[in-house]
Structures are given as C-alpha cells and as structure tokens.
C-alpha cells in the first residue's frame, strides 16, 4: 500500500493523503477538533447541532444545493459528532472529487445559521434524542457516564441534555461554529483514486486562502482519580435488566493504550474494527463464554474507544429475561478479577494479534474506512498510530496485560449501572 | 486507473457443479482477504403458520454443532484465525457469509461446508439457542420500531400470506418447535441445487472452484426442490390502522404502506425511481424535505421498497413525538397524494437517474459490495451483463411510467398503518 502523505498549510490546516488506486472512487473528509468534550453546561449537544447546521447553506451554496450536487454526481455524504470530533465526509466517483473540496472549503467559514433553520432543526434534534430515549440502554449509558465523570465534560453524552436542546440559541450555535471551525482546528483526509501532488495542489487552492482562526480554547478539565465505587440504579419500564460498568481507562496516546486493547480483545474479541471501537463479540472470548453460553445474558460486550482524554472501558450486558441482574454482575466481576489475577494464555494473546491483523486487512478494503481511521487517530493521538498499530500490539507482553488489568479494573475505579425494569416484567425478572 | 466495471461476463467466472451448486468467482488482488457469500432459495416462506420461526431456528442451530465441530470448537477456530462466519434465514432466502485472510480461505470454506452440510443439532446447545431466540423476541416486543413494522406486516398481508409474519417467529411457535422438526427442515430444504456460492477476493477463479468442489462436491440432494414461490398479495381494500401503546417510551414509531411488487416485475424500475424521489434521495427525498426539513417533525422519515421473490411491501417509516403524530401523517399522506397526482419534474428525474448510475462505482468498491451485487444478480436472474445494461434501463424510465406505477401501488383511501410508542389506543 502507498505511503501516507502529510502536509500543513500556512493557515494551520493539516492534510493527510492516501492514494488508493484500486477502484474509481475517492473519499474526502474534514475532521474538526471539536465535540461534546468542548461543551459546558447550558450548551451541551451544541457540537452535534452545529453539525446539522452545516447542511443548511452558505451564501453561495443554498440549503439543499449541497445535497442535490452530491446526488447529481453519484456520491454520498454525511457527518457525525462524538465527544472528541465532528467529521464530514463525501464519497464520490474519483473524477468528481473536486465537488467535495468546494463544499467543505465553503462551509468551513461561510455557514449561515439562519434563525428559521435553527428553529426547524431544534425539533429535529430533539426528535433524534427522543428516538434514542426509546432504548433502555441509552438511558443507562447516559446515567453511568454522568456518574463516572464529575469534572470532565465526558460527563454528558454527545446528543446533549434535553433542556439544553430546548433552550440554546442561534447565537450560541453560531459562536460555537465561529470558535471551532477554522483551518487551524481541522484535519483533511483524502483517500482513494488520485495523485497525491495533484490533490495537495487542489487543497491548497480551495483551502489555502481561508484565514487562520483564533487560538482554540483548551479543555482544562482533568477528571480526579476515583476513590471508591459509584453506583446508579435506574428504574424504568423495559423488557429486561441491563448492566453497564465503566472503568476509567487510558487515553489513545498513552503507553497503556495497547495493553488495554489486548485486554479488551481477550475479554470480548477484536470485533469488526470500524473506527467506532465497537464490534461484535467473539464467541470464544471470556465474557461471551461466561455470560451468554451460561444463559445469564442475551449479550455482553466490552468496548474501549480511542479518546483524546482518558475515557472509559465499558462492559455492558443484557440480562436474559428472568435472570437477576446481581447474578449477571457477579459473573462479569468474576471474569474481570480472573484476568487481573492471572496472566492471559499464549493462545489468547496470539488470537488477539491474529484478529487485529485480519481486521486491519478487512478495514482496508474500501477507501471510506481508511479515511475514517486516519482522521480519527490523528484527532485523538496521531495518524502515525495507523501505520504502527500492529507493531505496537506485537510489543505488548502478557505481563503488561496483567499489569493494566490490575491498574484499571479495580473496584474503586468503576461506576456500576443497573437498569431495572419497573413494569410487570421486572417483578418476574427479580424472582 | 482501470475504470471498467468489476462485474461483466468477462470478469466473472460462473460454473455449476455436478450436484447443482452454482459458483460465481471474482478475483480481486487489491485486498488480501476473501469474502464468501452463499444464498439458498429457501426460508421462512416454507413455514406453515403453526411453525412460524422454524426456518430461522433451524438455520441458526446449524452453527451449534456439526459432525466435526462442537459449538465451542467452531467459535475457537473462527476467532483463532480472525475469520467471521454467520448463517441465517429470512423469509425468502437463507444466507451465509464469511470472511478470512487469503491464507485461511481453505479453513473458512471447510468450516462453512461442515456447517451447511453436517449439522447435528445437539440437544443442550440447541435448547440454549431456543432460549436466546425467546429472549430476543421478548426484547423485540419492547422495541417500538420493530413492533410497528411487525404489526404493519400483519395489516398489509392476509394471514395466509408468508409476508404476514416475520421469519423469526413468535414465542408461542418457537417454544413448540421440536429438534426433529429442525432436523427435517435442514434435510428437506438445504440442497446444492438451490444454492449459489459467491467468492470475491485475492485468488484465481480456477483455484477457488477447485477448492469449493473439494469442500461441497459431495453434497447431494434427493428428488427435486420445492417450488420457491410467494403467492400474489391483493391490494388493500380499506385503511387498516392499529396502535400499540408501549410503556416508558418517548417517541412513537410508525410504518405506513402497501403490498409492493416483485423484483422481476416490469414496473420495478419505475416504482423504484419513484420511491427514490419520494422518500430516499439525499436526506429522504420529498418526505424528508416536507416532514423533516420544512416542518421539523422527525429525525427520520423515509420510504423503501422490499421487492423480492414476492411482492414485498412499499412502506414509509418515521419516528415522531406523539404530539406531532397527526401532522406527520398528514405530511406523509400529502406527499403520497402528490406522487399520485402529478408527474415528477424532469429535474427530479434526471437527478435520480444521475445518482443511480453515478453511484454504481461506490457500491462496487469493496469485496463485500461486489459479492452482494453478484448474489442479487444470480437470485433474480439478471445476467452477468446486468451492470452494463443498467444505465440504459434507468435512463429509459419516464415520468409517465413513474406516475403510472405510483397510481398503481399507492393509495390514499387504502393503506396499512401501525404505530407503536407512548400513544393511546384511540389515537
């Protein structure tokens, strides 16, 4: 595979290019270093809402025109927001990729935020949140996050608190946009069927004249060490009980990232390596065998996202209807204790390495995934992590895995959440 | 870069083995992996109402133990080599798919053949699976989108029709299914002469075929296969509307629609382009423009045609706050009325055509995308030159044809509508 080309424009814009000339397709991404991590009470959810407003037009590309142009050129586009970033992408036939540069350079500085558009989008955003509220897991996740982080803004979910969605103003949104959307706070990633020199010249032409923005306000919050287990119990109508434990975990750029990655791989398998950090659990993994094969849970998962600041390692499970949640919790904690007591086996370690290697190959099929991986890693740590990922995994030792298990999986470092159904099913489930 | 289509009669090798198994291979040297995709013309359509869920349960049980592998051994093998494999039954087809590095392809193939040909339905593992299916059904009963769709299908198709039911069954039927019924289902419907195997990846076609022959060549079937057909569904004759209150929910999810058409129906392209303009293109087409953009009523509102072997539904799905339910429905029905009363504009039509033809390359960018397309081409007998003909087929569709198709399949006076969420039964 070709090398990754890195460039920096004078206005502070970072550019990463990866030619992949296997299909007549190219993808173009802009990653802004802003997400719910940059939000304070009163405007939670604002980064995500700004993302929606970026499709509402500029003086030269009216609302809807972006979409029509993408359609006309046989492309797809979308955007998403997380705690650490807001990302926009286009996937187009490679001879049409200039369109992406035109759209992205325009809305990096010229988005309009017309009041009537803000008003109609408010109810759309609230509807997005209300759709999530239909899921018991959403409520539990929000509750656990809020308890696990009392100081750091990882405290709130990316969608934001409902009251903030109801009350924040057009000016709040516009000012957030003006603060964080600038070349010096963005990373461009292009991957696909193009020549790197030509693409860089085009990017220089489209983005080079955009003015550098003011310095970005730093996130100063540091979550203090947790000094005892925290517990939350949620009682709402639902079909069964749900379990969620969050352990404070290392950030992506920390040396412990890779040993924890292996740890998670042993617990749950290295699932589909999409850049969300979440995959389907391997059925030979420890948690699947201890929870699902024994009939205690319908599903169990362990996830560990790559984040800018120290985030969490999350173990979640859905209790089989009729099984008491205490039993599910005991089985999970028993597995975590075991992995923090005794080294993982050579076989388990080899399995994780092989799974990661395969997943890397699978994820390189198609330029979208490549663009997504590079951008995410650059924002949370460095894109170089992509190239050295497997080497770094290979350097991990079984002793390292034991050490990080002891360091992070302790009782005092965890927040435990239970969703207990409050309707009839619940009473049945408790027996 | 070579911009020729990955699927043409020249680039695909298609052979049928002596036992009737059809194989399609596409060599792609650009990624060191192989995608395997199998499809059988069998599924929930063969389940009589009292055994609804049999195809689904029997197929899921195949991985729970085979002649050579216990469930645990099979899982260990998949994980040890970073491979994936899954098998499942829908209403019309049974599908399996797997992925492995090229170096492990033989292993994946042998595992797949073992699962498909030699399941043993071990009692204790199969009972565990039954409990998992029942647990999943219970969770689905609490999922507003799922409940709305499930109930929509009941309203849209008569009880005698296979589309009346979802293929995973109900708690009542799944509890009653016996191990013998599972075994019989496998023995009767799993046969090479209804199966297509698609391989896309970094290996030569002749080598791939040799390996497949070694793994699947001894698979035999007796007699002739059951006719793989879905009965016609008659148009709706009234408004069938049902509301399902669910506790603890914020949003109401709705599904509104009609019996649609078969994939091979001559109206397919007209209705499908009409549907794209109506409820999909960009951010959900006209529906999205009206209900989401203009009125801000819903985060999601879109339409889809499930044209398959039979006339699957054409439906609109949306999630709204209960207080906006009536306005959202008015908006949806107004757009249906508009699609039926006037031709789409030339602008809309040319945008839809440009999108469909232009985005073809995007769908064929990965091994998985090529495999899925090949599998459809085979199932619906479209021919290996299909993608070469496709742009002309799409360009030939006129606004008149779209209007005629919309008038034929959508109605304002007669439709099926199911709503699930924090709503009153009288709503």
Report the sign of the C-alpha dihedral through residues B126, B132, B138, B139, in that order. Answer: negative
Selection from B322, B325, B290 nearest residue A120 by Cα: B290
- Please state the φ and ψ torsions of residue B185, each to the nearest 5 degrees: -60, -45
Whether B118 and B68 have beta carbons less than 8 Å apart is answered as: yes
A:358-387 residues touching chain B, CB 8 A cutoff: 358-359, 361-362, 364-368
Strands (E), B311-398: 313-320
Yes or no, beta carbons of A21 and B1 under 8 Å apart: yes
Chain A residue with CA closest to B277: the answer is A71
Whether B24 and B378 have beta carbons less than 8 Å apart is answered as: yes
Chain A residue with CA closest to B125: the answer is A293
Provide, as residue numbers in chain B, all residues whose Cβ is less than 8 Å from the Cβ of A120: 293-296
Q: A303 pLDDT band (50/70/90 cuts)?
A: very high
| Tens-place pLDDT, residues A258-298 | 999 999 999 999 976 554 444 455 899 999 999 999 999 99
Instruction: Report the distance separating Cα B244 and Cα B144, nearest Å.
Output: 9
A:66-105 residues touching chain B, CB 8 A cutoff: 67-68, 70-76, 91-94, 96
Per the structure block, which two tokens stand in for B228? 């793989």
Per the structure block, which two tokens stand in for A181? 């959307």
Whether B292 and B308 have beta carbons less than 8 Å apart is answered as: no
CATH topology of domain B239-421: Cytochrome Bc1 Complex; Chain A, domain 1 (3.30.830)
Whether A169 and A257 have beta carbons less than 8 Å apart is answered as: no
Instruction: Report the distance separating Cα A69 and Cα B317, nearest Å.
Output: 26
**Helix, strand or coil, per DSSP, at residue B295:** coil
What is the model's pLDDT at position A364?
A: 87
Q: A2 pLDDT band (50/70/90 cuts)?
A: low
| Tens-place pLDDT, residues A324-350 | 999 999 999 999 999 999 999 999 999
Other beta carbons within 10 angstroms of residue A101's beta carbon come to 20
A:47-66 residues touching chain B, CB 8 A cutoff: 55, 63-64
Per the structure block, which two tokens stand in for B221? 């079937």
Interface test with B, best of A61, A356, A365 (most B CBs within 10 A): A365
A:126-185 residues touching chain B, CB 8 A cutoff: 126-128, 130-131, 133-134, 136
Per the structure block, which two tokens stand in for B409? 């399949």
pTM flag (> 0.90) = yes
Interface test with B, best of A79, A114, A119, A124 (most B CBs within 10 A): A124
What is the model's pLDDT at position A425?
A: 44
Q: A64 pLDDT band (50/70/90 cuts)?
A: confident
Yes or no, beta carbons of A320 and B101 under 8 Å apart: no
Chain A residue with CA closest to B124: the answer is A293
Report the sign of the C-alpha dihedral through residues B247, B249, B250, B253, in that order. Answer: negative
- Residue A192: half-sphere exposure toward Cβ, Cα within 13 Å: 30
Query: DSSP label at B33?
Result: E
Q: What is the set of domains in chain A, with CATH numbers?
A: 5-207 (3.30.830.10), 230-430 (3.30.830.10)
Query: DSSP label at A249?
Result: -
Q: What is the mean pLDDT of residues A77-81?
A: 96
CA distance A132 to chain B (A): 9
Q: Choose the closest CB to A130 out of B30, B289, B321.
A: B321
Instruction: Count CB pairs under 8 A between chains A and B.
Output: 194
Instruction: Report the distance separating Cα B223 and Cα B20, nearest Å.
Output: 12
Report the sign of the C-alpha dihedral through residues B310, B313, B314, B317, in that order. Answer: negative
What is the model's pLDDT at position B427?
A: 66
CA distance B78 to chain A (A): 8
Strand order in the sheet with A414-421: A230-236, A414-421, A242-248, A312-319, A297-304
Alpha helices in A271-345 (DSSP H): 286-287, 325-339
β-strand pairing of B239-245 with B415-421: parallel
**Element of type H or E holding B26:** strand B22-27
Provide, as residue numbers in chain A, all residues whose Cβ is less than 8 Å from the Cβ of B321: 126-127, 130
What is the model's pLDDT at position B1?
A: 42
Burial of B9 (0-12, 13-18, 19+ CB in 10 A): exposed
Provide, as residue numbers in chain A, all residues whose Cβ is less than 8 Å from the Cβ of B319: 127, 130-131, 134
HEC readout, A99-146: HHHHHHHHHHHCCCCCHHHHHHHHHHHHHHHHHHHCCHHHHHHHHHHH
Yes or no, beta carbons of B79 and A284 under 8 Å apart: yes
Asked if the interface predicted TM-score (ipTM) of this complex is over 0.90, the answer is yes
Interface test with B, best of A71, A237, A297, A356 (most B CBs within 10 A): A71
Instruction: Report the distance separating Cα A380 and Cα B105, nearest Å.
Output: 35
Yes or no, beta carbons of B296 and A121 under 8 Å apart: yes
* Overall size of chain A counted in residues: 431
- pLDDT at position A316 over 90: yes
Selection from B136, B110, B115, B137 nearest residue B64 by Cα: B115
Please enumerate, as own/partner, the contacts of A330-336 that have beta carbons within 8 Å and a separation of 24 or more. A331/A290, A331/A291, A331/A294, A331/A296, A331/A297, A332/A243, A332/A245, A332/A287, A332/A290, A332/A291, A332/A300, A334/A290, A335/A267, A335/A286, A335/A287, A335/A290, A336/A267, A336/A405, A336/A409
Q: A423 pLDDT band (50/70/90 cuts)?
A: confident
Q: What is the dihedral of CA A318, A320, A323, A329, to 10 degrees?
A: -30
CA distance B384 to chain A (A): 19
Yes or no, beta carbons of A320 and B131 under 8 Å apart: yes
Query: DSSP label at A342?
Result: S
Selection from A57, A54, A49 nearest residue A30 by Cα: A54
Whether B94 and B309 have beta carbons less than 8 Å apart is answered as: no
CA distance B289 to chain A (A): 9
Provide, as residue numbers in chain B, all residues whose Cβ is less than 8 Å from the Cβ of A283: 75, 78-79
Interface test with A, best of B2, B26, B77, B84 (most A CBs within 10 A): B84
Strand order in the sheet with B94-101: B13-16, B22-27, B195-201, B33-40, B94-101, B84-89
Instruction: Report the distance separating Cα A265 and Cα A263, nearest Å.
Output: 5
Q: A235 pLDDT band (50/70/90 cuts)?
A: very high
Q: Return the bridge partners of B298, or none.
A: B320
Provide, as residue numbers in chain A, all residues whose Cβ is less than 8 Å from the Cβ of B82: 270, 354-359
Q: What is the mean pLDDT of residues A45-64?
A: 96
Burial of B10 (0-12, 13-18, 19+ CB in 10 A): exposed
Q: Where are the domains of chain B?
A: 13-216, 239-421
Selection from A86, A80, A94, A66 nearest residue A191 by Cα: A94
Selection from A88, A104, A84 nearest residue A33 by Cα: A84
- Please state the φ and ψ torsions of residue A192, each to the nearest 5 degrees: 135, -155
Whether A223 and A151 have beta carbons less than 8 Å apart is answered as: yes
- Please state the φ and ψ torsions of residue B138, each to the nearest 5 degrees: -65, -40
Yes or no, beta carbons of B76 and A284 under 8 Å apart: yes
What is the model's pLDDT at position A429?
A: 32
Report the sign of the C-alpha dihedral through residues B146, B151, B154, B157, in that order. Answer: negative
Yes or no, beta carbons of B292 and A70 under 8 Å apart: no
Instruction: Report the distance separating Cα A49 and Cα B277, nearest Å.
Output: 26
Yes or no, beta carbons of B351 and A71 under 8 Å apart: yes
* Region label for A42, one of left (φ > 0), alpha (ψ between -120 and 50) or beta (otherwise): left
Alpha helices in B81-204 (DSSP H): 105-117, 123-140, 144-156, 171-176, 179-189
What is the model's pLDDT at position B425?
A: 77
Other beta carbons within 10 angstroms of residue A291's beta carbon come to 29
What is the model's pLDDT at position A153?
A: 98
Profile chain B (427 residues) by mean pLDDT over runs of 10 residues.
77 97 95 96 96 98 97 95 95 96 97 98 96 95 97 97 96 98 97 98 95 97 92 94 95 98 97 97 94 94 97 98 96 98 97 94 92 97 96 97 97 95 83
DSSP B401-418: HHHHHHHHH--SSSEEEE
| Tens-place pLDDT, residues A365-421 | 889 989 999 999 999 999 999 989 999 999 999 999 999 999 999 999 999 999 999
CATH superfamily of B13-216: Metalloenzyme, LuxS/M16 peptidase-like (3.30.830.10)
Provide, as residue numbers in chain B, all residues whose Cβ is less than 8 Å from the Cβ of A240: 135, 138-139
Selection from A286, A249, A277, A263 nearest residue A400 by Cα: A263
Q: What radius of gyration, in Å, describes the C-alpha atoms of chain B? A: 23
Per the structure block, which two tokens stand in for B286? 């006209």
Strand order in the sheet with A76-81: A5-8, A14-19, A186-192, A25-32, A86-93, A76-81
Yes or no, beta carbons of B248 and A236 under 8 Å apart: yes
**Contacting residues for A427 by C-beta, under 8 A, at least 6 apart:** none
- Please state the φ and ψ torsions of residue A238, each to the nearest 5 degrees: -175, 165
What is the model's pLDDT at position A424?
A: 54
Instruction: Report the distance separating Cα B276 and Cα B298, nearest Å.
Output: 19
Yes or no, beta carbons of B299 and A127 under 8 Å apart: yes
Whether B353 and B395 have beta carbons less than 8 Å apart is answered as: yes
SS3 content of chain B, % helix, strand, coil (to 5): 50, 20, 35
Domains B13-216 and B239-421 share a fold: yes
């Amino acid at each position: 595979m070709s090398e990754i080309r890195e460039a920096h424009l004078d206005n502070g814009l970072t550019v990463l290019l990866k030619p992949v000339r296997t299909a007549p397709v190219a993808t173009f991404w802009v990653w802004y270093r802003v997400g719910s991590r940059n939000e304070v009470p009163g405007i939670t959810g604002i980064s995500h809402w700004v993302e929606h407003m970026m499709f509402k037009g500029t003086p030269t590309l009216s609302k809807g025109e972006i979409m029509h142009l993408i359609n006309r050129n046989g492309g797809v586009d979308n955007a998403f927001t997380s705690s650490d970033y807001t990302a926009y992408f286009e996937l187009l036939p490679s001879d049409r990729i200039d369109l992406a540069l035109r759209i992205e350079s325009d809305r990096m500085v010229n988005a309009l935020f017309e009041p009537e558009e803000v008003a109609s989008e408010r109810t759309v955003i609230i509807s997005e949140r209300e759709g999530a509220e239909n899921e018991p897991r959403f409520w539990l996740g929000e509750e656990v996050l809020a308890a696990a982080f009392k100081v750091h803004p990882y405290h709130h979910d990316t969608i934001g608190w409902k009251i903030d969605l109801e009350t924040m103003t057009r000016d709040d949104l516009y000012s957030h946009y003006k603060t964080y959307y600038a070349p010096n706070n963005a990373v461009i990633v292009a991957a696909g069927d193009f020549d790197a020199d030509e693409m860089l010249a085009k990017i220089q032409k489209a983005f080079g004249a955009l003015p550098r923005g003011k310095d970005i306000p730093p996130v100063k919050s540091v979550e203090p060490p947790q000094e005892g287990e925290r517990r939350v119990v949620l009682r709402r109508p639902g079909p069964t009980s749900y379990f969620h434990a969050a352990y404070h975990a290392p950030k992506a750029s920390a040396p412990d990232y890779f040993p924890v990655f292996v740890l998670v791989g042993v617990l749950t398998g290295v699932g589909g390596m999409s850049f969300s950090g979440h995959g389907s659990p391997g059925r030979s993994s420890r948690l699947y065998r201890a929870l699902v094969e024994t009939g205690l849970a319908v599903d169990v998962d362990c996830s560990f996202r790559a984040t800018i600041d120290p985030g969490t390692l999350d173990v979640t499970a859905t209790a089989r209807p009729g099984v008491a949640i205490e039993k599910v919790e005991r089985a999970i904690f028993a597995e975590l204790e075991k992995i923090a007591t005794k080294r993982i086996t050579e076989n388990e370690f080899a399995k994780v390495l092989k799974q990661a290697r395969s997943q890397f190959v699978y994820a390189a099929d198609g330029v979208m995934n490549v663009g997504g991986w590079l951008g995410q890693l650059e924002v949370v740590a460095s894109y170089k992590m992509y190239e050295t990922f497997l080497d770094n995994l290979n350097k991990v030792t079984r002793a390292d895995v034991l050490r990080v298990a002891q360091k992070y999986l302790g009782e005092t470092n965890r927040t435990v959440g239970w969703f207990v159904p409050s309707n009839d099913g619940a009473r049945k489930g408790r027996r | 870069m070579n911009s020729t289509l990955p699927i043409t009669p020249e680039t695909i090798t298609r052979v049928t083995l002596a036992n009737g198994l059809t194989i399609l291979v596409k060599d792609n040297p650009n990624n060191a992996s192989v995608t395997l995709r199998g499809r059988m013309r069998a599924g929930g359509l063969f389940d009589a109402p009292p055994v609804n869920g049999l195809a689904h349960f029997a197929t899921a049980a195949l991985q729970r133990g085979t002649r050579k592998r216990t469930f645990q051994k099979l899982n260990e093998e998949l994980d040890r080599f970073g491979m994936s494999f899954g098998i499942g039954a829908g209403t019309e087809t049974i599908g399996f798919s797997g992925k492995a590095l090229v170096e492990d392809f033989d292993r994946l193939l042998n595992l797949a053949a073992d699962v498909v040909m030699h399941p043993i339905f071990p009692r204790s593992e199969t009972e565990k699976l039954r409990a998992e299916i029942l647990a999943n059904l219970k969770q689905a009963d609490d999922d507003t989108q799922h409940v709305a769709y499930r109930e929509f299908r009941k309203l849209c198709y008569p009880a005698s029709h296979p589309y009346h039911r979802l293929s995973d069954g109900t708690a009542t039927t799944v509890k009653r299914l016996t191990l013998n019924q599972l075994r019989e289902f496998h023995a009767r419907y799993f046969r090479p002469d209804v199966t297509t195997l698609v391989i896309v990846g970094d290996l030569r076609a002749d080598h791939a075929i040799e390996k497949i022959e070694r793994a699947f060549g001894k698979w035999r079937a007796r007699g002739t296969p059951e006719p793989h057909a879905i009965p016609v569904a008659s148009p709706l004759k009234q408004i069938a509307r049902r509301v399902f209150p669910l506790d603890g929910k914020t949003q109401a999810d709705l599904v509104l629609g009609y019996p649609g058409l078969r994939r091979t129906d001559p109206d397919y392209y007209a209705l499908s382009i009409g549907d794209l303009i109506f409820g999909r293109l960009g951010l959900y087409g006209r529906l999205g423009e009206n209900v989401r953009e203009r009125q801000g009523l819903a985060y999601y509102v879109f339409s889809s045609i499930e044209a398959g072997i039979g006339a699957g539904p054409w439906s609109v799905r949306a999630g709204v706050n209960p207080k906006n339910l009536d306005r959202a429905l008015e908006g949806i029905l107004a757009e249906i009325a508009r699609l039926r009363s006037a031709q789409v504009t030339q602008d809309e039509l040319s945008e839809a055509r440009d999108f469909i033809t232009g985005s073809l390359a995007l769908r064929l960018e990965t091994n998985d995308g090529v495999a899925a397309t090949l599998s459809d081409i085979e199932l619906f007998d479209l021919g290996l030159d299909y993608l070469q003909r496709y742009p002309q087929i799409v360009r030939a569709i006129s606004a008149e044809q779209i209007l005629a198709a919309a008038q034929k399949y959508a109605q304002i006076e007669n439709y099926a509508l199911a709503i699930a969420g924090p709503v009153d039964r009288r709503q």
